[in-house]
Amino acid sequence: MLTTEAELASVIDLSLEERAGLAASKSLFRVGITPYYASLMDPAHPSCPVRLQAIPHPAEAQIREEELRDPLGEDTHNPAPSVVHKYPDRVLFLVVDRCGIYCRHCNRRRLVGGDEPPTTAELEAGLEYIAKTPRIRDVLLSGGDPLLLSTRRLSYLLGRLRQIPHVETIRIGTRLPVVCPMRIDDELVAALRQHHPLFVNTHFNHVKELTPEARRGCERLVDAGIPVGNQTVLLRGVNSSVRSLRALMRGLLRMRVRPYYLFQGDTVIGTDHLRTPVETAMELYQGLRGWMNSMAVPMLVLDAPGGGGKVPIVPSYIEHLDEERVIVKTYRGARVEYPQPRERDCSVPYDAIQFAGEPPDDDREGSAEVL
Ligand code: SF4
């Protein structure tokens, strides 16, 4: 992994700003870039989107009063070590603290860096919490990057989760298809496919990252029946243009990776320079919706500070709504009237038969009764 100014200078022509950012980052957030990801950098242009994601900017040292160490309130929703339980039916399971790259926009920079990996006892306590909490239907393995665990260790954890009857789906959040796609080898894929239904969510932010190697890695997963989704973070000056986002989303779909979320940047410390105004995010979204195959259009969301969860920030296409008619604005800006149906009762009589005796969904706060 490339971690120092000298190592990076052997690959690219570092700008004065980048050198200053690298010096400032020593006390802020570690630097680490795989040789493969560094090979994608434009050696001549500091505005290269790969460089901007991986090399610190001096602005990281300017901590604004509104910025937070834990913008998503994860540290107050952890009923067991390594478990974050914010939503009713799903949890995050933080199984490792290392990453293949230390992204300059990371919202978990307080936790990742490889200094304090979860202990075996902590992971066991996390598994125990998941096993004794029947309302958890879905577990998202994250960290750090779970694919940095050995295949054996990862298989063990997945196997333990699969033994829990109420865990219906398992997801893995990983940036390795972007920064080290060669990790997705036959051995890993053969191990993962034992644990269906299993989903992988990855994190491509720019079309420059969609290389033949990345494509091969993602397609290996998809060919093993593992759906791959992508979460993009909207980053000022990196991908904050309609042209860049359209190219990324179309390229992902060609790789059989489904664009899933487009995140407004979180209010994490030292990242103000990377965030876009929300109105810009909505304008960009309007440049995607309708103009491209809808499967290539991710949902634009903002993760509410403090742990409120994801909130769609879709611009309103409804200009008027009453019981008789709706006036909508199309993606081209035309106003069209949609007549409402005459019947308004939407209850489903067969539900009472089909779901008789089944308890209703548990819509309580994730960990409210535990904390
Ligand atoms: S890979 Fe994910 S967890 Fe790791 S630094 Fe990047 S954004 Fe943060």
Q: What is the pLDDT of residues 252-304, one digit of tens each?
A: 999 999 999 999 999 999 999 999 999 999 999 999 999 999 999 999 999 99
Task: Compute and round to an integer the Cα radius of gyration of the chain.
Answer: 22
Distance of CA 288 from the midpoint of ligand 1 (Å) = 26
Is the CB of 175 inside a 6 Å radius of any atom of ligand 1? yes
Is the CB of 104 inside a 6 Å radius of any atom of ligand 1? no
Q: What is d(CA 96, CA 149) in angstroms, rounded to the nearest whole number? A: 7
Is the CB of 74 inside a 6 Å radius of any atom of ligand 1? no
Q: Residue 52 in contact with residue 38, Cβ under 8 Å?
A: no
Which protein residue has the closest C-alpha to ligand 1 atom 4? 99
Q: Which tokens belong to 174?
A: 């990983």
Distance of CA 206 from the midpoint of ligand 1 (Å) = 15
What's the chain's average pLDDT? 95
Which has more confidence, 368 or 101?
A: 101
Sheet architecture: strand order including 299-304: 83-87, 90-94, 138-142, 169-173, 198-202, 228-233, 258-263, 299-304, 309-312
With a cut of 70, say whether residue 367 has pLDDT above it. Answer: no
With a cut of 90, say whether residue 364 has pLDDT above it. Answer: no
Is the CB of 92 inside a 6 Å radius of any atom of ligand 1? no
**Distances from the Cα of 182 to the Cα of 135, 164, 248, 255, angstroms:** 36, 31, 21, 16
Q: Which atom of ligand 1 is nearest to the CA of 107?
A: 8
Q: What is the pLDDT of residues 176-217, one digit of tens each?
A: 999 999 999 999 999 999 999 999 999 999 999 999 999 999
- What pLDDT score was predicted for residue 340? 97
pTM over 0.75: yes
Q: Which atom of ligand 1 is nearest to the CA of 144?
A: 3
Distance of CA 273 from the midpoint of ligand 1 (Å) = 18
Question: Quick one: pLDDT band at residue 70, thresholds 50, 70, 90?
Answer: very high
SS3 assignment for 258-326? EEEEEECCCCECCCHHHCCCHHHHHHHHHCCECCECHHHCCEEEEEECCCCEEEECCCCCEEEECCCEE
Question: Quick one: pLDDT band at residue 370, thresholds 50, 70, 90?
Answer: very low
With a cut of 60, say whether residue 355 has pLDDT above it. Answer: yes
Is the CB of 103 inside a 6 Å radius of any atom of ligand 1? yes
Is the CB of 93 inside a 6 Å radius of any atom of ligand 1? no
Is the CB of 154 inside a 6 Å radius of any atom of ligand 1? no
Distance of CA 148 from the midpoint of ligand 1 (Å) = 12
- What pLDDT score was predicted for residue 247? 98
Angle between helices 120-131 and 151-162 (to 10 degrees): 20
Distance of CA 329 from the midpoint of ligand 1 (Å) = 38
Helix, strand, coil % over all residues of the chain, rounded to 5: 35, 20, 50
Is the CB of 179 inside a 6 Å radius of any atom of ligand 1? no
Q: What is the pLDDT of residues 101-132, one digit of tens each?
A: 999 999 999 999 878 899 999 999 999 999 99
Distance of CA 270 from the midpoint of ligand 1 (Å) = 15
What φ, ψ does residue 354 adopt, rounded to 5°?
Answer: -65, -40
E strand or H helix that includes residue 169: strand 169-173
What φ, ψ does residue 141 adopt, rounded to 5°?
Answer: -75, 125
